[in-house]
Structure 1
Amino acid sequence: MERTAGKELALAPLQDWGEETEDGAVYSVSLRRQRSQRLSPGEGSGGRQVHNPAADAFLYYRTSKVRALRAAPLERLVRELVFGDREQDPSFVPAFLATHRAFAPTARVLGLLLPPPPPPLPQGSVPRGNLHVANPHTGHFLHCLRVEIKKTEGRDLSFNKNLRAVVSVLGCWLRDHPQDFWDPPAHPDLGSVRTFLGWAAPAGVEAREAEKLLGDFLEEAEQRQEEEQPQVWAGLMGAAQIPGSDPPENCLEEVQEGLELLDFSLDEVAEQLTLTDVELFSRVRPCECLGSVWSQRDRPGAIGTAPSVRATVTQFNMVTGCVLGSVLGEPGLATPQRAQRIEKWIRIAQRCRELRNFSSLRAILSALQSNPLYRLKHCWGAVSREPLSIFRKLSKIFSDENNHLSSREILFQEEATEGPQEEDRHPGSLPSKLPPGPVPYLGTFLTDLIMLDTALPDMLEGDLINFEKRRKEWEILAHIQQLQKRCQSYCLSPCPPILAALRAQRQLSEEQSYRVSRVIEPPAASCPSSPHVQRRISLTKRLSAKLSRERGSSPCGSAGDPSSPTSSLSPGSPLSSPRMRDPPGSPPASPGLQHPNTKDSEARVIRVSIDNDHGNLYRSILLTSQDKAPSVIQRALQKHNVAQPWARDYQLFQLLPGDKELLIPDNANVFYAMSPAAPGDFMLRQKEGARHTTSISPT
């Protein structure tokens, strides 16, 4: 059989090989296949091998082994920061720095990473050999760090490559995640870094970066003290303030001129919405989007948790509230007038689409699709045909079909192009220079991260940190950071009157919106004139279908904890329903709770809290039809960081409407023992006579 010259084999360049265990750490092993050039054994000029033309009829490949750390104790993870091979595993350092707050605070990592300063040199003495540095608080691996101390003309210290690796890690940390060191008033973690860099690299860019960061922190603290009113995010004119708070005095003066929000042109409103969304999204700290961080925002004392993400939620809810308030808030409007307002909001949404602002686009569509507006058949019947067509087209962007595939594909296309296609513009739109972007809908990423946190365990068997989970989270966080860089090139100028009108627009609560809607149009059997749009389906159904296709199980052996979902778990849901608040203890981004039927089993996501002084702190776990009470209790305690040997001292209760509780028997199958009609909220309560006291250590 003859081989065709230059014909490559249809093999993947990277193939999974298996796992390796080394010093208590688990590595995933892959084989990398690379094309190699065939050389003749003879030597050419300069003693080098020469190309053999006879070898062109064949392709030669070489295979190399690639290892990536999958699970390890914290000390080993920090060791990998210093001694790891960045060529083989280039994503380890950025993934660790972006996600470490989910399993270790900054001070703990620095305690393991930073070696102590060398002892002072006696006057007139010159060191010989190497100085072994050992810190009992930094782990055994720092015994390997050696500091070569030499005297030079500038009396600088030269250090070996291990210390250079530590300095390099700190440089990336200071540059990419400066807020990790914010701890007023003294900022002790930043002080530790400055002390280390002061003797290890006093003239390096890292030391200058640390000094500059300290100056920025002190300046920011002074600015916060000078502020008269607290804001969700400094620098935005009321757009990031808490809904319901009074707008600034100068804004009130401009609003009193008589201009309402919809009195401005649709281009002006869309551009100001985009400007606000760009500023808020650019300031989002990716680590605050982690499911383990974002899910703690409702626990007692966590008001300040994830402030940058909260600001985007506030803005999203304010936009939906403006839509509801402008259409429903005026009791004396006739049906054609309300229809005109609906049409204008559709036009504004289309302009947001042209500006590639998917955040406000989603907020406007959520309001128009909400029940108080969606049920107004007479108003929708008076809407012109062209706006209705635009509305249906825009609604397809956020269709739930195929796991929100449409919105994800459109976002990917927008990242790869200079602007939306011509067919995406509605007739009569004003030509303008499209800014870069896009501005994504953050709720999609938040839901992805929450579902990852729910589906994958934090710890594996042997008290190993599941770093493979952190890699998957990092893939999403890296995408957020990439989009943030794209948003820096927007060129939009603020317009105070429009921002003031946004703040002054009447806001309606969920109950108020529905009550006003029923007054405008009494309840009817159906709403045939309302536009038909896709309704949302259960997030849990999509997650369960995704997990049912996974092969194997996690090393921890817990039922319902899949080893590794596919590279992209992609459910999506709004940050919260437009101006519709969940009851206390029920965050807006929590997954849906329904009984999905999957190919191999049935599953649903449940939320489990502990009956103690920590209030409504809960953890989400995946419950399958095979899970019995002991395994559910054990996994819930693991999520709450409670010692596992005490699992037998707990009972599981399902919380029912009307302050009722359903006791799940000790050996019952939880999936079939619980009430299917009730929400998936559960509580763990200690049995009478339990000897220990629950102690939760938040991650």
Structure 2
Amino acid sequence: MTFQTDLMLASVHGADSADRATVLTDGTETPETISSVDDAGPSSVSDEKIIYNSSGAIVSGAADVLLCKMLPTSSHCPDNHTIFTLLVNLRAFISPADLLQKVLQHCMFEQNSKSDNFRKESRSKMFENMFHVCAEWTTSIPYDFREPAMRDRLLEIFGLCVIDDAALRKCDELMLNLRTTLSKLERYEVALRSLHQNIEDPPSTADQLVGLAVICPEPLVVAQQLAHIELERLGMIGVDEFAEILKSGQIENLCVDKNATKAANIRHYVEWFNQLTNLVATEILRHSRKRYRVKTIEYFIDVAKECINIGNFNSLMSIVAGLSLQPVARLKRTWARVEKSKLEILQHQLDPSGNFISYRATLKAAIWRSDGAKQDAERVIIPFFGLLMKDLYLLHHRCVMPLPNGHLNYAMFTQFADNLRNLLKWKSRPCPFKRNSQVLQYLLLAANYSETNMLRLSYDYEVAELSADKEQYKRIRELTKQQSS
């Protein structure tokens, strides 16, 4: 099983066309009418290297001019939005290491460009403004500084700018926070490597209700524990990883390329999605009696509904993917006993028409609730990661395409950065629900069946009727005999 299920790779129905609206991760649609210089409008201002619209917002610009917008001086300090927008987009054209080197060179030049810059007041302002840029970088994209060379270069910048003990303490505190973040990442990666998903082979079945439904009969509690896992794993994905994988264009092969170290946490998150999908199917097929398969299906439908209420759309889609796997979906006599009303909400959410318009409307409502929430439990937003990546890919693709005049499309830069900003906000929120160690352990470590064993059990429960099914069952039985001999 991989991330390339039919559900994950459902067509975005032409959303990558230039004349379509880009669907953003906040559920809204913004027409792409500012993707060329001519779209800027008759009131646009141009000095050949940069173009503004009538509101004074940058539409496009030459790379060197846009870079200058991020570089501080004693009299200019870029805002956080500008810094973040350029940091996440310029890396498509220049590496973070080279970009930080340019910041260092700018700092050296700026300090020596005129005599006034040697005055204490100017040096103090230069430090504050440079520190502001570095603080935004290390806070929003800390994984850029995993390499010692990047941290050394950062220390060089501080060495040039520090003017007194107070400034030195601020720099020390920033470096301490950065090291703490990177240490947490290292511990997380070590912990994940120690988790090994077991495959139960040969599979054992039961003639009574077993598994998660017995361990935790309350679907809400399971949904809450899923939110813990989702927020932990989503929260460890760095902005640099999104930029790296989108730049490569390999968003559909994350589980195949185990060497994609720069996007390792994205790969771990996708593997978790697949693990939960397989767990759902395994829990259903673990029951040899139809009545308990029905109970387990209805149980997971209830868990999925609680995921919607919480705002955890990634687990929702993973559960539905498990219910949709062939070994489960083909059990017609089992599904005939499932209460139909339980399926209606999920069917509505998963309708792919209009580029998943139903899901996007629900996500938008959840964001609206989150923004106005007074309780932490109402602030959880965990988007459907498969569709999120496709949305980001379409935006990033527009970002890296130079305009006819050679400019970079800053308007698209802004859209891409705003979407990542939203994601940063959602994934940084702590999970407000009480942890249940027993349920968490089961979700993370319970053994799953292999795809072959799932199909074999499925055909044992309900015989193959179609010729294609009969041929598949014959191949599975032959394969099973070969493995046992």
TM over 0.5: yes
* Correspondence 1:149 to 2:101: no
In 2, the alpha carbon distance for the partners of 1:419 and 1:213 equals: 28
1:243-272 CA-to-partner distances (Å, cap 9, x unmatched) read: 4489xxxxxxxxxxx973221222332221
SS state at 1:414 partner = helix
In 2, the alpha carbon distance for the partners of 1:310 and 1:371 equals: 24
In 1, the alpha carbon distance for the partners of 2:290 and 2:103 equals: 67
RMSD of Structure 2 on Structure 1 (CA):
3.9
Within-5 A mapping of 1:311-350 = 311-330=268-287, 333-350=288-305
* Correspondence 1:447 to 2:470: no
Question: 1:501: which partner in 2?
Answer: 442
Within-5 A mapping of 1:20-169 = 22=47, 25=49, 27-32=50-55, 66-68=56-58, 70-73=60-63, 75-82=64-71, 91-115=81-105, 133=109, 148-150=117-119, 158-159=122-123, 164-169=128-133
Q: Alpha-carbon deviation of 1:193?
A: 1.6
1:520-579 CA-to-partner distances (Å, cap 9, x unmatched) read: 2233359xxxxxxxxxxxxxxxxxxxxxxxxxxxxxxxxxxxxxxxxxxxxxxxxxxxxx
* Correspondence 1:355 to 2:310: yes
Within-5 A mapping of 1:455-474 = 457-460=400-403, 464-474=407-417
In 1, the alpha carbon distance for the partners of 2:124 and 2:176 equals: 26
Q: Is the Cα contact below 8 Å between 2:308 and 2:316 reproduced in 1?
A: yes
- What residue identity is the alignment partner of 1:313? V
Question: 1:193: which partner in 2?
Answer: 154
Q: Alpha-carbon deviation of 1:19?
A: 5.8
TM-score (norm: length of structure 1): 0.52
In 1, the alpha carbon distance for the partners of 2:398 and 2:462 equals: 44
Cα distance change, pair 28–86 in 1 and its aligned pair in 2 (3 A): farther
Cα distance change, pair 354–469 in 1 and its aligned pair in 2 (3 A): closer
Question: 1:696: which partner in 2?
Answer: none
1:425-451 CA-to-partner distances (Å, cap 9, x unmatched) read: xxxxxxx99453122222221110122
Q: Alpha-carbon deviation of 1:464?
A: 5.0
Question: 1:212: which partner in 2?
Answer: 176
Q: Is the Cα contact below 8 Å between 1:231 and 1:242 reproduced in 2?
A: no
- The structure with the largest strand share of the pair is 1
Identity of matched residues, %: 19
Within-5 A mapping of 1:336-415 = 336-383=291-338, 385=339, 388-415=340-367
Q: Is the Cα contact below 8 Å between 2:44 and 2:54 reproduced in 1?
A: no
In 2, the alpha carbon distance for the partners of 1:420 and 1:31 equals: 32
Q: Alpha-carbon deviation of 1:181?
A: 1.0
- What residue identity is the alignment partner of 2:365? Q
Within-5 A mapping of 1:264-279 = 264-265=216-217, 266-279=219-232
In 1, the alpha carbon distance for the partners of 2:143 and 2:294 equals: 47
In 1, the alpha carbon distance for the partners of 2:106 and 2:82 equals: 25
- What residue identity is the alignment partner of 2:53? S
In 2, the alpha carbon distance for the partners of 1:513 and 1:419 equals: 42
Within-5 A mapping of 1:242-261 = 243-244=197-198, 260-261=211-212
Question: 1:549: which partner in 2?
Answer: none
The match for 1:16 among 41, 58, 73 is 41
Q: Is the Cα contact below 8 Å between 1:18 and 1:28 reproduced in 2?
A: no
Count of residue pairs brought into register by the alignment: 410
Question: 1:653: which partner in 2?
Answer: none
Q: Is the Cα contact below 8 Å between 2:398 and 2:412 reproduced in 1?
A: no
Q: Alpha-carbon deviation of 1:457?
A: 4.3
In 2, the alpha carbon distance for the partners of 1:368 and 1:76 equals: 52
- What residue identity is the alignment partner of 1:176? S
Question: 1:284: which partner in 2?
Answer: 237
Q: Alpha-carbon deviation of 1:377?
A: 0.8
- What residue identity is the alignment partner of 2:156? T
Q: Alpha-carbon deviation of 1:512?
A: 3.8
TM-score (norm: length of structure 2): 0.72
Q: Which has the higher contact order (CA 8 A, sep 6+)?
A: 2
SS state at 1:353 partner = helix
- What residue identity is the alignment partner of 2:134? L
Gaps of 5+ in 1: 1-13, 33-65, 119-132, 135-141, 152-156, 247-257, 422-431, 527-699
In 2, the alpha carbon distance for the partners of 1:167 and 1:372 equals: 57
Within-5 A mapping of 1:547-562 = none
- What residue identity is the alignment partner of 1:197? F
In 2, the alpha carbon distance for the partners of 1:198 and 1:454 equals: 38
Q: Alpha-carbon deviation of 1:477?
A: 0.7
SS state at 1:396 partner = helix
Q: Alpha-carbon deviation of 1:21?
A: 5.2
Cα distance change, pair 216–508 in 1 and its aligned pair in 2 (3 A): same
In our comparison, the structure showing a higher alpha carbon Rg is 1
Cα distance change, pair 145–443 in 1 and its aligned pair in 2 (3 A): farther
Q: Alpha-carbon deviation of 1:218?
A: 7.6
Cα distance change, pair 161–69 in 1 and its aligned pair in 2 (3 A): farther
Q: Alpha-carbon deviation of 1:322?
A: 0.7
Question: 1:262: which partner in 2?
Answer: 213
Cα distance change, pair 104–511 in 1 and its aligned pair in 2 (3 A): farther
- What residue identity is the alignment partner of 2:447? R
- What residue identity is the alignment partner of 1:475? D
* Correspondence 1:175 to 2:139: yes
Q: Alpha-carbon deviation of 1:72?
A: 1.9
Q: Is the Cα contact below 8 Å between 1:288 and 1:309 reproduced in 2?
A: yes
Q: Is the Cα contact below 8 Å between 2:222 and 2:439 reproduced in 1?
A: yes
Q: Is the Cα contact below 8 Å between 1:287 and 1:477 reproduced in 2?
A: no
- What residue identity is the alignment partner of 1:402? G
1:43-88 CA-to-partner distances (Å, cap 9, x unmatched) read: xxxxxxxxxxxxxxxxxxxxxxx14152423x33321213699999
Within-5 A mapping of 1:645-656 = none
Question: 1:513: which partner in 2?
Answer: 454
- What residue identity is the alignment partner of 1:107? A
In 2, the alpha carbon distance for the partners of 1:216 and 1:312 equals: 22
1:587-614 CA-to-partner distances (Å, cap 9, x unmatched) read: xxxxxxxxxxxxxxxxxxxxxxxxxxxx
SS state at 1:70 partner = strand
Question: 1:232: which partner in 2?
Answer: 192
Structure 1, 205-214 or 497-506: larger mean CA deviation: 205-214
In 1, the alpha carbon distance for the partners of 2:258 and 2:280 equals: 32
